[in-house]
C-alpha cells in the first residue's frame, strides 16, 4: 500500500504510536479514515477526527468472526458462507455499525490465500461504494445488535491471532477437520505435522480414496499419512515438494 501511494505521489506516514499521531492527523483535516488489516485498537481521539467517519473493511459477516483471523477461522470451522462488512469504527474490536455487507460463498477446497485475495478485491469495491454514499449523505448505519445473532454465537466465533498450537494437525480430529485446517493455513503460515520423526509444513492435502494405505504413494504424487493424502509439503531447509517426492527422499536416506 505504501509503495502504491508513493507511486501516486501521495504522502505516507508510519507512526509507531497512534496516540502520538493525533495532532499530525488533525492537521491534515481528513474527511474520512479507512482501515484494512490493522491489528490494533485505534484511539477514540483519532476516530473522532474525520467528519464522515472511520471506515473499516472486515472479511466476515459481522457480528460473527470478529477479531484478527476471521478468514482462517471460517475455513477451519467448515463454513459454507462468509462475506465482507464495511463498518464505521468505534472503540471496540469490530463492534461498530455496519454500513454495507455482502455475503459470499466459501468455495469447495478454497484456501486461506485464495479467499483472502478474492475478498480483498470485493472489500475494496464495497469500500469505494461506502465512501460515495457517505459523500452524498446517504449512508445507512445498522447496529450489529440489530442483526439478531445470539450473543453466545458471537462469542463462540470471536477470533484471535494464530499461535503455535493452532498450526499443529491432530489426527484425532478426523480427516475432514484436518483438511479444513490445512486449507485455513495455506499457503502461510501452513499447518504442521511430524512424519517419520521429521517436522513438515503441509500446503495441500486431500481425502483418502478406497484402497489407499498408510505410507503408500498415490497417482497424484501424494503420500498417505494420518488418514489423509499429503500432496504438497515443506521439509526443514528444503523447498516445497510433492508428498511423494518427500517420501522418496526419506527412503533414499
Under DSSP, is residue 20 helix (H, G, I), strand (E, B) or coil?
helix
Q: Is the pLDDT confidence value at 253 over 80? A: no
Structural domains in the chain, CATH included, are: 2-157 (3.40.50.170), 164-252 (3.10.25.10)
Selected residue with higher pLDDT from 219 and 156:
156
Strands 33-36 and 54-58: parallel
State the pLDDT at residue 185: 98
Cell of 91: 472503540
Longest dimension (CA), the chain: 69
Gyration radius (Cα) of the chain, Å: 22
Residue of 217, 220, 225, 227 lying closest to 249 (CA atoms): 217
Q: Using one digit for the tens of pLDDT, what is the confidence trace for 142-198? A: 999 999 999 999 999 999 999 999 999 988 889 999 999 999 999 999 999 999 899
Cell of 253: 536416506
Task: State the pLDDT confidence band at 63, using cuts at 50, 70 and 90.
Answer: very high
State the pLDDT at residue 151: 97
Q: Is the pLDDT confidence value at 76 over 70? A: yes
Four-residue CA torsion sign, 114, 116, 117, 121? positive
What is the C-alpha separation between 181 and 228, in angstroms, rounded?
12
What is the C-alpha separation between 101 and 87, in angstroms, rounded?
9
Q: Is the pLDDT confidence value at 8 over 60? A: yes
List Cβ neighbours of 234 (8 Å cut-off, separation of 6 or more).
Answer: 190, 200, 201, 203, 240, 241
H helical segments located in 63-150? 70-76, 112-136
State the pLDDT at residue 7: 97
Amino acid at each position: 500500500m505504501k509503495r502504491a501511494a508513493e507511486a501516486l505521489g501521495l504522502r505516507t506516514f508510519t507512526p509507531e504510536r497512534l496516540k502520538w499521531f493525533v495532532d499530525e492527523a488533525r492537521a491534515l483535516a481528513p474527511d474520512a479514515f479507512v482501515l484494512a488489516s490493522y491489528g490494533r485498537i485505534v484511539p477514540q481521539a483519532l476516530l473522532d477526527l474525520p467528519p464522515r467517519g472511520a471506515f473499516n473493511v472486515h472479511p466476515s459477516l459481522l457480528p460473527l468472526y470478529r477479531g484478527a483471523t476471521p478468514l482462517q477461522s471460517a475455513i477451519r470451522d467448515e463454513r459454507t458462507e462468509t462475506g465482507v462488512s464495511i463498518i464505521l469504527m468505534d472503540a471496540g474490536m469490530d463492534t461498530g455499525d455496519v454500513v454495507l455487507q455482502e455475503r459470499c460463498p466459501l468455495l469447495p477446497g478454497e484456501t486461506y490465500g485464495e479467499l483472502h485475495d478474492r475478498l480483498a478485491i470485493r472489500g475494496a469495491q464495497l469500500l469505494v461504494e461506502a465512501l460515495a454514499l457517505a459523500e452524498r449523505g446517504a449512508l445507512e448505519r445498522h447496529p450489529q445488535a440489530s442483526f439478531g445473532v445470539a450473543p453466545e454465537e458471537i462469542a463462540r466465533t470471536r477470533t484471535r491471532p494464530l499461535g503455535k498450537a493452532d498450526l499443529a494437525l491432530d489426527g484425532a480430529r478426523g480427516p475432514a477437520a484436518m483438511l479444513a485446517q490445512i486449507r485455513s493455513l495455506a499457503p502461510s503460515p501452513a499447518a504442521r505435522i511430524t512424519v517419520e520423526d521429521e517436522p513438515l509444513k503441509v500446503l495441500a492435502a486431500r481425502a483418502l480414496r478406497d484402497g489407499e494405505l498408510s505410507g503408500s504413494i498415490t497417482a497424484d504424487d501424494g503420500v498417505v499419512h494420518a488418514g489423509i493424502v499429503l500432496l504438497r509439503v515443506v521439509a526443514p531447509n528444503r523447498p516445497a515438494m510433492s508428498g511423494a517426492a518427500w517420501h522418496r527422499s526419506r527412503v533414499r536416506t
